[in-house]
Chains A and B, each alone.
Chain A
Amino acid sequence: MLEFSQQIINGLTLGSIYALIAIGYTMVYGIIGMINFAHGEIYMISAYIGLITITALTVQFGVENVPLILLFTLAVSILITSAYGWTIERVAYRPLRGSPRLIPLISAIGMSIFLQNYVQIGQGARDLSMQPLISGGWRFGPEDGFQVYLSYMQVLIAVVTVLFMTALTLFIARSRLGRACRACSQDLTMTNLLGIDTNRVISLTFVLGAALAAVAGVLISLYIGKINPFIGFEAGIKAFTAAVLGGIGSIPGAMLGGVILGLAESFASAYLLTEYKDVVAFSLLVLVLLFRPTGLLGKPEIEKV
């Protein structure tokens, strides 16, 4: 039972990161119906910014206040990464607005390869690593038996994720811009006709998605502590799977999908074999799509006439 709860903790931590990235995929899809394959790279870039900022603060300037380092790093990372998100949309997708669906998709793949190589040239193709900023945690269970370990870092990941998800949900549900976002996802042309600057809303979507990926990137560089220019690809595929699993286009779906995927991977390594964790995760996706083609929380797409 104790092992089981430890595996749940492991899975939830992983799932939170997936969910944060998955939201970027699902929001863009919900509004312009395209898959932004460069999103994984945004996450990778933010992991680099996170690692560089933290190292600069601790080593260069000798800052020791951990909450301050965290807040500053998150702010810097969100700012720069959002700028990347905005620029990518501007450069790679906006000129292709209105063209057949396949064309922005190819542009996205090109963007992803470009960003990977760009970081590889700028930062080198080797692994960068960092020692944990936050260590320690709580232990539960018998002194001489199996102890469940909940690290401060895992709690931080969960808290930050919930915080940003709540903020996003409130923003989408309550604010004017959020309402415009929802309107765009229902009918882009009609929203445009009603006098809303849809290009601005689409830019905003990319910025929001990038900001959440930035949070995920900073958290991962803190939690795992080893990054390279290729981490975006795998994380991107996983997060995309999470978005599809939950129902692409649905924000709560992306959150749910991320958590389910994280738990599935964790349980597969625990009760089957570690090498089967991806097999289990993707089989789950196939099964869900077989029985619910729109994903767990997705709504079927109605052909607009």
Chain B
Amino acid sequence: MNSFNRHVLSAAISAILLGLGGMAQAKDVIKIAVAGPITGPVAQYGDMQMMGAQMAVEQLNAKGGVDGKQLEAVLIDDVCEPKQAVAVANQIVNDKIKYVVGHLCSGSTQPASKIYEDEGILMITPAATNPAITQQGYKMVFRTIGTDDQQGPTAGDYIADQIKPKQMAVIHDKQQYGQGIAEEVKKTVEAKGVKVAMFEGVNKGQTDFSALCTKMKSENIDFVYYGGYHPELGLILRQCREQGFDAGFMGPEGVGNKDISAIAGPASEGLLVTLPADFSADPANADLVKAFKEKNQDPSGPFVMPAYSAVQIIADAIKGAKTEDPVKLADYIHKHSFNTPIGKVAFKENGDLKEFQFVVFEWHADATKTPVK
């Protein structure tokens, strides 16, 4: 049977079974791709993103969807690998999905964003913070999170003003995100007269850092900033503490994850982390937090609320602009502001948020965090 016959047959069957109303069923769904790591070493962040996006989809659907149409989240795994992200982006293009919430890692968001821009797909990343992503002159790319040129100075100022180290080390994982934020921090602290005695990269996936720990110890480093993700920092902390290297450590939001305590154990006590403000503590979000808690989910992760907000912005834009054309929606999003769980948001010309705050948190061995200052 050729495909034309099959279509006619299925149309006939559905017409018989459901009446003619049933035929429009497939067109009444608005698909949103949620692309991020579902597997791999940083999949925990993907969980936060998927959790937030799915909650938004469920709640919007419960309220009757968008203009009578139901939303559907399509979860796609990019393992946080740039190569895989390109394949995922092409898959989204082929599936004719017009909106993307993602990707998560900056390294995979960058190559994927080009495809979305070229194909006229609306992309909102709830997590990628590398500044370069929105410096490509793209019209279809947005983010509901701050950038590393906001986060870097927040961390750098805190180090220079509060910690005042004598000999500091800046270590990074040579990835777009990790090295980017490490360079921002280095720039900020050096401008304030802090001496950065070591600036070097480690390999992604490396497990033995004992030589690095010995080196930092022998150079009398008294504070370490690490740009990267938690699997490497967890091991660095554990191995350095074991060797008796007791300097303070700080990292960006890519290390702020329960797994850092699972890996480093007691060594994760006192780690400083810059994260977006804890939106789940905002009284305005109490109902939403309750909804997460009822599903036994933790809404305090850094990317949960930004992902929720990204879906909501897409839905609000469709309602407001009265169109599903992603190019027109992008234009609408540029011109309007939105009330979301991360606050009232408006976007700059390049797709960055007009305002976003990073806050310094202190991490504890039992995987909880408390804001400092």
Contacts and interface: CB of A to CB of B under 8 A. Distances in A.
Interface of A: 2-3, 6-7, 10-11, 13-14, 120, 124-127, 129, 131-132, 135, 137, 139, 146-147, 149, 151, 220, 224-226, 228, 230-231, 234, 265-270, 273-275, 277-278
A270 B39 contact: no
B211 A7 contact: yes
Given A230-B205, A270-B211, A224 B235 contact: yes
B244 interface: yes
Contact of B262 (A120, A129, A132): A129
Interface string B83-123: 00000000000000000000000000000000000000000
A269 B265 contact: no
Contacts of A135: 242
B199 to A, nearest CB: 9
Given A120-B39, A228-B41, A266-B211, 11 more contacts: A3-B217, A7-B211, A11-B211, A126-B44, A225-B263, A231-B207, A234-B205, A266-B210, A270-B215, A274-B206, A274-B212
Contacts of A10: 208, 210-211, 214
Contacts of A275: 174, 200-203
B208 A126 contact: no
A68 B242 CA distance: 24
B259 A129 contact: yes
14 contacts: A3-B217, A10-B210, A10-B214, A120-B39, A124-B39, A125-B39, A126-B39, A131-B265, A139-B244, A230-B205, A265-B211, A267-B211, A274-B202, A274-B211
A3 B165 CA distance: 22
B43 interface: yes
B235 A226 contact: yes
Interface residues of B, number: 34
Nearest to A273: B200
B242 A269 contact: no
A7 B212 CA distance: 9
A11 B212 CA distance: 12
Contact of A226 (B40, B171, B201, B234): B234
A269 B40 contact: no
A149 B44 CA distance: 34
A132 B242 CA distance: 10
Contacts of B41: 126-127, 228
Contacts of A139: 244
A3 B218 contact: yes
Interface string B208-231: 111110110110000000000001
Contacts of B211: 7, 10-11, 265-270, 274, 277
A13 B218 contact: no
Interface in B246-262: 259, 262
B208 A147 contact: no
B290 to A, nearest CB: 28
A297 B212 CA distance: 31
Interface string B156-170: 000000000000000
A151 B262 CA distance: 21
Given A274-B200, A275-B203, A127 B263 contact: yes
A49 B201 CA distance: 32
Contacts of A146: 217-218
A5 B69 CA distance: 69
Nearest to A11: B211
A149 B235 contact: no
A7 B203 CA distance: 19
Contacts of A127: 41, 231, 259, 263
